[in-house]
Amino acid sequence: MHAILLAGQPNRGLLKATHPNLYEAEIPVGGRAMADWVLDALQASSAVSSIGLVGPDSLQRDNLTIAPMAQDLFGNILQGLKTAPPQTERVLFVTSDIPWISGPIIDTFLQRAPRDVDVVYPVIPKVVVESRFPGTKRTYIRLREGVFTGGNIFLAKVSAVPGLKERAEVLLAHRKSPWKLARDIGPGLLLRLVAGRLSLDDVQRRVGRILGISGCALVFPYAEVGVDVDKPEDLALAERELGTQASEASGQGWDIS
């Protein structure tokens, strides 16, 4: 499996007040760039054989292929595809702002993801998030099967990605707003959302028709892929948890560079 780390988000949001780094991926957590924790997880995955990076040169590592950054998220997705080896059929996209992800979590996602669809996207139950990260604030959507937040990784068929640009950009821009997403997918589904009768299958089918692809919303029991660091309180949480881990590793003489 070829994995692509998306690390090209400029540091212009809420995190800018905490650190002056040009890119969010470079912001330190536990004395290391936030993206380094995600790169560690990708390299620890038994399923990932090669890694591409769309981000700043400061994140360079051995055996890592870097692609130039674009001006927007989907542009970076397309740039990332250029790092894939020839004849690659599927790629795993991972954002750089989920520093608590691990190799086994990545392996579990890839093991559970169906291969008969174009895109697999994880959705994490609210109860899972609140159990793993009590008090954290996420964007949730209530569906018939439960209350979910979206993940920050996805598996995609290479041939399906380039044709998504115009249609996918709208959905990506609205990914943090359930109401805007519901409006995008139609008034009928919006009414069912309000009534609590909208199902995961309804969303899959409608989004698939909008984008012209087949997709799967995979219910995934790991909050680590659904809690990203995009606010100062998220960064403080990551520092408390991973900073302690880094300190303990350093005290035992482990190489965490």
Buried b (16+ CB within 10 A) or exposed e, 165-198: eeebeebeebeeebeebbebbeeebbebbeeeeb
The strand pairing partners of 147, in sequence order, are: 142
**Predicted local distance difference test score (pLDDT) of residue 60:** 93
pLDDT digits 0-9 by tens, 116-166: 999 999 999 999 999 999 999 998 988 999 999 999 999 999 999 988 876
pLDDT of residue 26 exceeding 90? yes
pLDDT tier for residue 171 given thresholds of 50, 70 and 90: low
Higher pLDDT pick, 190 / 200: 200
Instruction: List the single range of 36-40, 95-99, 177-181, 236-240 with lowest mean pLDDT.
Output: 177-181
Higher pLDDT pick, 40 / 162: 40
Distance, CA of 8 to CA of 6 (rounded, Å): 6
**Predicted local distance difference test score (pLDDT) of residue 163:** 82
Write down all domains in the chain, each with its CATH number in brackets.
2-251 (3.90.550.10)
Distance, CA of 55 to CA of 199 (rounded, Å): 36
Q: What is the mean pLDDT of residues 105-111?
A: 98
Q: What is the mean pLDDT of residues 94-121?
A: 96
Global confidence as pTM: 0.88
pLDDT of residue 256 exceeding 50? no
pLDDT of residue 103 exceeding 50? yes
**Predicted local distance difference test score (pLDDT) of residue 184:** 67
- CA proximity to 221, closest of 92, 98, 130: 130
Buried b (16+ CB within 10 A) or exposed e, 82-105: ebbeeeeebbbbbbbbbbbbbbeb
Most confident of 99-108, 176-185, 210-219: 99-108
Q: What is the mean pLDDT of residues 164-181?
A: 68
Q: What is the mean pLDDT of residues 31-55?
A: 97
Q: What is the mean pLDDT of residues 252-257?
A: 37
**Predicted local distance difference test score (pLDDT) of residue 203:** 83
**Predicted local distance difference test score (pLDDT) of residue 181:** 65
Q: What is the mean pLDDT of residues 69-74?
A: 89
* Token code pair at residue 37: 């924790």
